[in-house]
Amino acid sequence: MDTTRGVTTANLRPTAKDEIPAPSDLDAVVEQLRRMKRNSKFILAIDVGRLVVERIYRGDREVLKRRGRDHAGFGKLAAHPQLPFSKTTLWRYVGVSELVSRMRWVVETDALTVAHLTAVFGLQPGEQQMVLRLAVERGWTAKELRREVEKLAPKSDTEEREPPPVMSVVRRLERIQKKAPELGHLRDLKSKDRERIQRVVEGTRAWCEAVECWLRAGVEEN
């Protein structure tokens, strides 16, 4: 039997406490921990929301629906210096609690999170039920669910449209024009800096010329 400083190879064999679980066992433990984390967030949101409804709105869901976060009591609570939540988080938990009170099944599935529920706040109850069940069936993430909700949300004719991407570039160019330094120090630049500037100038000129051609074409069409 080999020994090293009095330690036998028999003593180096793993004991029951040292044995590494099988990958499937580790996966099961991780999945259970994920479920516990999810459930803890759900429980927190539901309990906080229920407490606010019962104590601030006196359990009157009609008042809650009519006054919402404009309720004076809710405003006082949200402004309390020792409140452990932001006003936004507090109102979100109220919304989660209310939704769960109407659809208990959402907490019985592992497929939904608090983020899934908050994604449907702007929909009608029937639409909420529909898209949440679709989210479970199709395995949507909260981000994917929000995209689907955006398709359902009605858009007002007077709603301001998001500016086209090209305008973000134009705004940057405007800022650059205002903040561009004097060019007197160009002669002090290193050759590699000159080459870099040259490439940027040429690329910007080509882009600007393409935009100018497009603008002219648009004017001619009109």
**Digit-coded pLDDT (tens) for 182-207:** 666 666 778 887 888 888 888 788 77
Q: Where do the H-state alpha helices sit in the chain?
A: 23-56, 61-67, 72-78, 87-102, 114-119, 125-138, 142-152, 165-179, 191-221
Domain limits of the chain?
29-102, 116-153
Most confident of 6-10, 18-22, 94-98, 156-160: 94-98
Higher pLDDT, 221 or 177: 177
Query: Is pLDDT of 95 > 90?
Result: yes
Of 156, 91, 146, 90, which is closest to residue 123 (Cα–Cα)? 146
Distances (CA, A) of 127 to 114, 116, 192: 17, 13, 59
Contact 90, 77 (CB under 8 A): yes
The model's confidence at residue 162, banded by pLDDT at 50, 70 and 90, is: low
The model's confidence at residue 158, banded by pLDDT at 50, 70 and 90, is: very low
pLDDT recorded at residue 124: 87
Mean of pLDDT values over 92-100: 92
pLDDT recorded at residue 125: 87
Most confident of 16-25, 39-48, 175-184: 39-48
Contact 85, 48 (CB under 8 A): yes
The model's confidence at residue 52, banded by pLDDT at 50, 70 and 90, is: very high
Query: Is pLDDT of 14 > 70?
Result: no
Contact 42, 112 (CB under 8 A): no
The model's confidence at residue 4, banded by pLDDT at 50, 70 and 90, is: very low
Residues pairing with 3 in the sheet = 8
What pTM value is reported for the model? 0.56
